Amino acid sequence: MRSVYDKYCIDAADLDSARARLEAVLPISLVLHESMFWGGDYYRFESDEFGEVTIRRNQNSYIDGLNEPDHPDCQLVVSVSESRNPEAIEARLVAGGLRLLDRSVLEDGIEMSTPITHLIPVGFYSELRGGKPHEPSLRAAVQPSASADEARVIEYLNAGETLIATAGSVSDILDPKFGVIGAPHVLTDGTYAWPAILAHYVERHHVRLPDEFMTHMRDNAWTVPHGIDLVSLKLDRNVPSL
């Protein structure tokens, strides 16, 4: 038997705001409770489908410390325990702006923790399909000529592991003559994640990539690492893209 225990961080002004935000993402009604263990008030919901869902403060007033000391930057923590479909709930919560902190799995009573690595988004531009207002401009990144390392950059980008495979096709938004340039997949090297079509824009339009990412690729000797554990990787497009 498999049981999953997830912890998320939710950005909200206070506990009540977090409750309202979570209820807008999931069809649940959270009830206020009090617990000395969690250090005061917290919200809870339980059902067969969603399992146990709670929202609590990270700061525990009873012990004057953190309930989740591994995540000091998270003020409000959402826990989802023993739901029927944790992956489906995860997709809804992440789409709603929550960030998965960690996941613990019990397989026949044996705990198997899964550390979560949050990928750094790069090359997700506001003009691309599904682009977000806070993401940078593709047109502003275009350069008149190739950089010295452009060929290595293109090879590195194309060598990324497929993190997200999505049906459909994508056309060049800067020059229609190129037509379809690929699928809207997302690739990764285990630290960064980028659109699969990013290599095309670098090759055809000499798009400049962020200095931090360029340094990262050089430090990797222009080689994407082997044996990437894709299960532990999470991409949050709600954080600023490089």
Can you give the residue ranges of every domain in the chain?
2-114, 117-235
Query: What integer is the mean pLDDT of 205-217?
Result: 97
Q: Work out the mean pLDDT of the chain and round it to a whole number.
A: 91
Q: Write out pLDDT tens, residues 15-70.
A: 999 999 999 999 999 999 999 888 899 999 999 999 999 999 999 988 889 999 98
Instruction: Provide the angle, in degrees to the nearest 10, between the axes of the packed helices 15-25 and 86-95.
Output: 120
- Res. 73: pLDDT tops 80: yes
- Res. 1: pLDDT tops 80: no
DSSP reduced 3-state for 201: helix
Opening angle at CA 119, ends 113 and 120, nearest 5: 155
Q: How far is CA 129 from CA 40, 166, 173, 242, in A?
A: 44, 12, 9, 17
Q: Which residue has the higher pLDDT, 19 or 2?
A: 19
**Distance in angstroms (rounded) separating the CA atoms of residues 53 and 50:** 7
CB 22 within 8 A of CB 30: yes
Residue 114: strand pairing partners: 103
The pLDDT > 70 percentage for the chain reads: 95
pLDDT of residue 242: 61
The reply to whether the predicted model has a pTM over 0.75 is no
Query: What integer is the mean pLDDT of 137-155?
Result: 96
Residue with the two structure tokens 């950089």: 147
Q: Which residue has the higher pLDDT, 113 or 96?
A: 96
Q: Which fold has domain 2-114?
A: Double Stranded RNA Binding Domain (3.30.160)
